[in-house]
Amino acid sequence: MTGPLLDVRHLSVEVAGRRVLHDVSIAVDVGGSLGIVGETGSGKSMTCRAALGLLGRIGGAVVAGTATFAGRELTALSRDGWRAIRGRQIGFVPQTSMSSLDPVMRIGRQIEETVRVLDPGADARARSLELLEAVELPRADRIVRRHPHELSGGMRQRVMIALALAGRPRLLIADEVTTALDVTVQRTILELLGNLRRQLDMALVLVTHDLAVVESSCETMAVLYAGATVEAGPAGTLCTAPSHPYTRALIAAQPLLTDGGPLASIPGAPPEAGTPHDGCAFAPRCSHADGLCLGGTLALEPVSAGHVVACRRVREVVR
Query: What's the per-residue H, E or C state across the chain?
Result: CCCCCEEEEEEEEEECCEEEEEEEEEEECCCCEEEEECCCCCCHHHHHHHHHCCHHHHCEEEEEEEEEECCEECCCCCHHHHHHHECCCEEEECCCHHHHCCCCCCHHHHHHHHHHHHCCCCCHHHHHHHHHHHCCCCCHHHHCCCCHHHCCHHHHHHHHHHHHCCCCCCEEEEECCCCCCCHHHHHHHHHHHHHHHHHHCCEEEEECCCHHHHHHHCCEEEEEECCEEEEEEEHHHHHHCCCCHHHHHHHHCCCCCCCCCCCCCCCCCCCCCCCCCCCCCCHHHCCCCCHHHCCCCCCCEEEECCEEECCCCHHHHHC
Mean pLDDT for the stretch of residues 277-289: 90
Mean pLDDT for the stretch of residues 237-252: 92
Q: 159: pLDDT confidence band, cut at 50, 70 and 90?
A: very high
Predicted confidence (pLDDT) per residue in 22-34, tens digit: 999 999 999 999 9
Mean pLDDT for the stretch of residues 109-114: 97
Number of separate domains in the chain: 1
Could you tell me if residue 58 is inside a domain? yes
- At 273 the pLDDT is 81
- At 292 the pLDDT is 85
Could you tell me if residue 249 is inside a domain? yes
- At 2 the pLDDT is 60
Q: Is residue 58's pLDDT more than 60?
A: yes
- At 112 the pLDDT is 97
What is the residue range of 51's domain?
A: 6-89+211-318
Q: 243: pLDDT confidence band, cut at 50, 70 and 90?
A: very high
Could you tell me if residue 171 is inside a domain? no
Query: Exposed, middle or buried by CB within 10 Å (0-12, 13-18, 19+), for 39?
Result: middle
Predicted confidence (pLDDT) per residue in 251-265, tens digit: 988 876 555 677 788
Could you tell me if residue 74 is inside a domain? yes
Could you tell me if residue 222 is inside a domain? yes
Could you tell me if residue 160 is inside a domain? no
Q: 38: pLDDT confidence band, cut at 50, 70 and 90?
A: very high
Could you tell me if residue 159 is inside a domain? no
Position with higher pLDDT, 103 vs 274 = 103
Predicted confidence (pLDDT) per residue in 76-99, tens digit: 899 899 999 999 999 999 887 778
190 contact partners, CB below 8 Å, separation of at least 6: 178, 213, 216, 217
Q: Is residue 195's pLDDT more than 90?
A: yes
The CATH number assigned to the domain holding 45 equals: 3.40.50.300
Could you tell me if residue 235 is inside a domain? yes
